[in-house]
A and B are shown apart, each in its own frame.
Chain A
Amino acid sequence: FFFFCPGLETFSQLVHEDDYGSFLVNESEIDDFPRFAHRGILLDTSRHYLPLKSILTNLDAMAFNKFNVLHWHIVDDQSFPYQSIYFPELSDKGAYSRNHIYTPTDVRLVIEYARLRGIRVIPEFDTPGHTQSWGKGQKDLLTPCYSGEQPTGSFGPVNPILNTTYDFMTKFFKEISSVFPDAYIHLGGDEVNFDCWKSNPEVKEFMKKQGFGTDYAKLESYYIQKILDIVFSYNKEYMVWQEVFDNKAQLKPDTVVQVWMENNYAHELSSVTGAGFTAILAAPWYLDYISYGQDWKKYYSVEPLNFPGTEKQKKLLIGGEACLWGEFVDATNLTPRLWPRASAVGERLWSSRNVTNLQDAYKRLTNHRCRMLRCLHEK
């Protein structure tokens, strides 16, 4: 079966078996190219640690489905498995355990394994929200929350008013920029809860000094802009979640905005591309939202360019991502939950706009699924 599952994916899909068990390929000319340049899968290794094997198996599956970007949401509130060279305490104190980490060697392995399959690895270090686990190994990074005059003992987003924050981020992103070779780093910027900032007297004082009034979105943008500048100084481009755009931070022209909020995402795509920014679409493709039945059909039926906009705007939508957030996912159920549902997204991002017939897709997808079983099993 080995030649079924090589890097020559399109070719391998031409192979079929006759009634006598021989494998055949009809003489064909292959004219195949992707519709969208960014075809990604998001994996979350913070809500649950994913052992290397499961990440590598997933990279194989991605290759079979012509995905070319692994968006590695590597750390978050719950755990910090990334072993930093400059700041070893981050994972020492922030990972689930000493075993639940990715060493520099592990990271290099993932990047290389992906590279050999034509897959880029874009790491996401999401700040200023989603950072609870960072605070365990980096004192004073997070904002102390207050109840009246007293600190409560709990912490909120990254503290945007301290110089030490930016000293840390400067050094941290220097490391990240050299560890991950891709031109892009994902900087997150989603779901920043302002309650803790609002409770902190020093933050309130800072807001006054800066003339931000009570508009904490301005404080968020202030922070983000400084991070963007830091990352830019290392010659990296960045991707951000849509809130960074929505809250009007000053973004460099090459910023990629990831649209993830389901409510009226077509409108968001118009706004983002209308403002001249590149966009990628994730909103209708949150594959962690499981439901009973053939939900692959609704993923397949998404037409990314169905939003009001000019030709020029449409060109700014460079692709999309199927996201598998990790709240309920780990190595025990990752592969069956992601595949072949993500394959529907894979075809939508690769094939022509007019390839939409569900019945035909079903036939091909069930076949493809059997092929994936064989190929992933071989590995």
Chain B
Amino acid sequence: MAYNKFNVFHWHIVDDPSFPYESLTFPELSKQGAFHAITHIYTASDVQTVIEYARLRGIRVVAEFDTPGHTLSWGPGAPGLLTPCYLGKDPSGTYGPINPILNSTYQFVTSLFQEVSAVFPDFFLHLGGDEVDFTCWKSNPNIRAFMKEMGFGEDYKKLESFYIQRLLDIISSLGKGYIVWQEVFDNAVKVRPDTIIHVWKENPTPYTEEMANVTKAGYRALLSAPWYLNRISYGQDWMAAYQVEPLKFEGSSEQKDRVIGGEACMWGEYVDVTNLTPRLWPRAGAVAERLWSNATVQDLQDAYVRLADFRCKLLGRGVQAQPLFVGYCENEFGGF
């Protein structure tokens, strides 16, 4: 990242499949939720190592604790946190998003984020808020009763908003700013004006339109939608990433000023230590140049020559960056 002048490490640290973050306040979360409670965790010391290593390279670490969806791994270590799904009158045994109707939920969230706010020094926390599946909420009779009580009708987006708003208030009171995925904005959740909206979806709304809408509403925007580098395909896909122009949308110059940058994302469904580096580099370099250099720096042929050469440099520096196309480096990876 440092070689490519990236300055933010967005650490999507926990999600459905596993919870590797070792919490001091809630040690059971990783004990029960990590793939392996001893080997597949980040201790408090590990986390500090990452933060400091990053800091020395001018890189901020923005941690994401994604809720209320994407939280299945939180369940085993925090009984009562997730919504029990129902099959008719009875619990089915499976769980859904965080349960937004219980006070215990907000107590838990407050304590957890108290810790997280102290552990991660950056002003911003990423709070997630994406892809909340309402099916489980709808199946739960207590939640349905709550919906009635609150006058939300059948609009579960209102329930999602209810949770998110309380979460945002908690985070604000902890003195942190927040970044959220675009659904929070799309679902008309009331957020503070200094919220940063992270645009990631390509449909149903084209991301250019979303960027326009987000900035028009006065929020700052981060762009990731065309830069999901986990979505591999055959050929020189770095070119498509390079040709993205983040400010190419209908809007005033004030709106354009609200686009503060973007992120190349490497989601982990098919990625681990065996393939992370070649899959991310040098493709992410295309995104890096787009975010650093002037809008006029666009020539693909020229970029190819520089990026291919830079890739050889990365190899020389011990970065296992894969080739862009046919060719060679003076020093191949692993030597001759």
Contact = CB atoms under 8 A, between A and B. Distances in A.
Contact of B328 (A48, A291, A332): A48
B86 interface: no
B231 A292 contact: yes
A97 interface: yes
Interface in A13-71: 47-49, 51-54
B334 A54 contact: yes
A290 B234 contact: yes
Given A100-B328, A373-B274, A328 B322 contact: yes
A275 interface: no
A51 B325 contact: no
B235 interface: yes
Contact of B230 (A79, A292, A328): A292
Given A100-B328, A333-B322, A51 B335 contact: yes
A228 B278 CA distance: 41
A333 B234 contact: no
Interface in B209-263: 230-236
B234 A48 contact: no
A242 B292 CA distance: 49
A47 B325 CA distance: 8
Contacts of A47: 326
Chain A interface extent, by class = 20 to 34
B132 interface: no
A330 B327 CA distance: 10
Nearest to A293: B270
A329 B270 contact: no
A326 interface: yes
Nearest to A79: B328
Contacts of A293: 270
A332 B320 contact: yes
B321 interface: yes
Given A100-B328, A327-B326, A330-B323, A51 B232 contact: no
Contacts of A336: 274-275, 278
B322 A49 contact: no
B328 A49 contact: yes
A132 to B, nearest CB: 11
B330 interface: yes
B116 to A, nearest CB: 31
A49 B274 contact: no
B46 interface: no
Contacts of A49: 328, 332
Given A96-B328, A326-B326, A331 B334 contact: yes
B303 interface: no
A329 B278 CA distance: 10
B315 interface: yes
B333 interface: yes
A53 B334 CA distance: 8
Contacts of A54: 334
Given A49-B332, A78-B326, 11 more contacts: A52-B336, A79-B328, A100-B328, A100-B336, A292-B233, A293-B270, A328-B235, A328-B322, A330-B332, A333-B275, A373-B274
8 contacts: A48-B326, A79-B328, A290-B232, A291-B233, A292-B230, A328-B323, A330-B333, A333-B323
Interface of B: 230-236, 270, 274-275, 277-279, 315, 320-328, 330, 332-336
Interface of A: 47-49, 51-54, 78-79, 96-97, 99-100, 288-294, 326-333, 335-337, 373
Nearest 3 CB-CB pairings of A with B? A333-B278, A336-B275, A96-B328
